[in-house]
Every structure is written in structure tokens, then in C-alpha cells.
Amino acid sequence: MELSAVWTLITLTILRACRVNSLLPIPLIILEDRIQLNSETKVSCVLPASECRCLEVELKIVTTEKLKNCVSHKGNYSNVTCTLDVTKEMNEMELSCEAHFRTKSKPYKLNIQTEPEFTDCPDKLVWIEGQEASFHCKAKGYPPPNVTCQKDSMTYKEGETFITVKNMSGSYTCRAVNFDSVGKKVTVSVEYEPEILSIAVEPAMSVYEGANVTLTCKADGVPSPVYSWHPQVPHVILSGDNKTLQIREVTSVHDGFYICIVQNKHGIKTQQQKIVVNKDIIEAQTNPALFQKGKGEKLEVVFSNLLLLLLSSSLFYYLC
């Protein structure tokens, strides 16, 4: 088949698809009814039909005189309107409108097969316990890569949302995969409000007056919580991080409840521990009068037992 015949077939196919029966729409010139000398008049060119939407049209007003302020409108009922400064010499001047049609295909992208590459994937992520979070690791490549992040047996898709918990902290491997694959390490830190685990008392909750006692508060939280104690009483020594409170030579003033306070930017928690200062036992051991009385009572018991033993021995000898 000759080249000209091919083009003829293509043209006929386009015209048939546009439903114009081998005739393209003809543009029309529209003029104002009364045109006055030395004035400005409008000249318009309009395409009366828009049946052929597969064709792009450009309208142009053709005349020997200069037109100005031309404004075009494309789409349904395409048109162009210009202004003309009227002079006596323009009487019976001819104007026409040309419609230039052209066709074009839809745009198609040229996709070249490329290996995956991370474009936006931070090295560190900070989440808040109990809140919604996700991995934001974007990757480019063709075909578009599939991105997942994994730690142990848990795998999360890029953009997938979930509620965070403490054990999600750690190092993840994020991987972008198409016909090839690329990996990246992402460190996740889950922050949460503090929690008091225990308050240890040494030597015991009940202490003698004059002894030393130590209270140690242990708590968990991210960021690491700040410690403080209430109340502030005399003869108290705090460790550098305030976790440990030591009371030297306790007295009755130290009897009562001690509150450990821990806080970070996500919350505050408290827990109390009671200290009992035992005075009666101390007095029983240190009062000389009480001690001598007790000692005398013990000597009397020993002497009585010894006397009974001697008497029983003498009686046994006499009988024998």
C-alpha cells in the first residue's frame, strides 16, 4: 500500500470518529451591527460546532488591518475576539477566520527499569506510647518498589498506621524491593510516662531511734524520669540523681510517710513508703535502771535453781 493511501485512510478514520461526515466545522466571523467611524469595534471568530473533541483547534482572524486585544477561548465553542480601530479606509474591508485543526495522542511516560532507592527515610524515629504512628520511608524506582520495615518477627508496611507500645523500641531494617532490593537501618525510640517499680527500705521499715535508714526509689520511663522526695526533713542526704534518700540518726521526727515523685515530659507518678521509729525497744536496751532490774531478776532465778540442785544432791547422798 502506498504512503498516500495510508494517510488517506488515517484521515478518513479520524473524520469518521469525529462524526463530521468528512467535513470539518467552518468557523464564522461575527461583527457588530453598527460600526461607527473613528471608533473601536469588536470582531469575533466562533467555531459553531464542537462535535470533534478529538481535534485541537486554533482560531485566527485574518485581515489586512492590525487587530489588537485578542482574547482566545478553547474548549467547547472555541472563539477568538479582537478589537479594531475603525477608519474610513476600512469600508468594505474583508475579514475571515481560519481554523487550524491538529490531533495528538494522550501523553505517555517513558518508564525505564531502575533499582530502588530511598528518597525519604529518617535514621531515627521517636514515637509516643499509646499514640498512632507509622514508618515514613519513601523509595523510588521502576517498577515502584514495595517498602517494609521489620524487627524480629514483626513486619510493617510503609505508611501503615498502628498504636505504639513500649516493646516497639529498637533497630529496624527497612527494605525497598522491586526487581532488586536495598536496605536501611532505622532506630525507633518509644517514649512513655514514668512508672514507679519499687521503693526499697534498708535495714527495714521499722527502725530504732538513732539508727540510719536508706530509701531507694526505682522507676522506669523514657525520657529518663527526674526524682524528688517529700517531705524534706532534717538529717537527710540525697544521692546525686535523687533516687536514694538516706536518713542519719533517725528520731521521732522522721516517723511517717515519705513520697517518691518521678516525672518526665509525658507525666508524673508518686508512691509513698512509711518509716516507723521504734522508741520502746531502744529504752528497754539503754535505760540502766531497767537493765539492772532485769539483771537482778535473772540472778535470783539462777541462785534458786542452784540451791534446789544442791539440796537434791544432799538428799540423794543421805538416802544412799
pLDDT at 54 over 80: no
What pLDDT shows up at residue 25?
79
The answer to whether 175 and 211 have CB atoms below 8 angstroms apart is no
CB atoms inside a 10 Å sphere around CB 96: 11
Rounded CA-CA distance 125/143 in Å is 27
The yes-or-no verdict on residue 196 having pLDDT over 80 is yes
Q: Where are the domains of the chain?
A: 3-102, 114-192, 193-281
3-state secondary structure 156-212: EECCCCEECCHHHCEEEEEEEECCCEEEEEEEEEEEEEEEEEEEEEECCCEEECCCC
Neighbours of 70 (CB within 10 A): 14
pLDDT of 309 above 70 = no
**How confident is the model over 75-132, as pLDDT tens digits?**
777 889 999 999 988 888 989 998 888 777 788 888 899 999 999 999 999 999 999 9
pLDDT tens per residue across span 240-298 = 999 999 999 999 899 999 999 999 999 999 999 999 998 765 443 444 443 344 444 44
Q: What is residue 286's predicted lDDT score, i.e. its pLDDT?
A: 42
| Helices (H), ranges, 47-107 | none
- Whether 3-102 and 193-281 share one fold: the answer is yes
- Say what the pLDDT of residue 13 is: 58
Pick the CATH number of 114-192 from 3.40.50.720, 3.20.20.140, 2.60.40.10, 2.40.110.10: 2.60.40.10
Q: List pLDDT tens digits, range 1-31.
A: 455 555 555 555 555 555 544 467 788 888 8
74 or 80: which carries more pLDDT confidence? Answer: 80
SS3 80: strand
State pLDDT tens for residues 228-239.
999 888 889 999
C-alpha cell at 1: 500500500
The domain over range 3-102 is classified in CATH as 1.10.150.20: no
pTM above 0.85? no
CA angle, corner 235, sides to 230 and 240, nearest 5?
Answer: 65
The predicted pLDDT at position 298 comes to 44
pLDDT over 80 at 143, yes or no: yes
The rounded mean pLDDT for the chain is 82
Q: 214-230 burial string, b = 16+ CB within 10 Å, else e?
A: ebbbebebbeebebbbe
CATH topology of domain 193-281: Immunoglobulin-like (2.60.40)
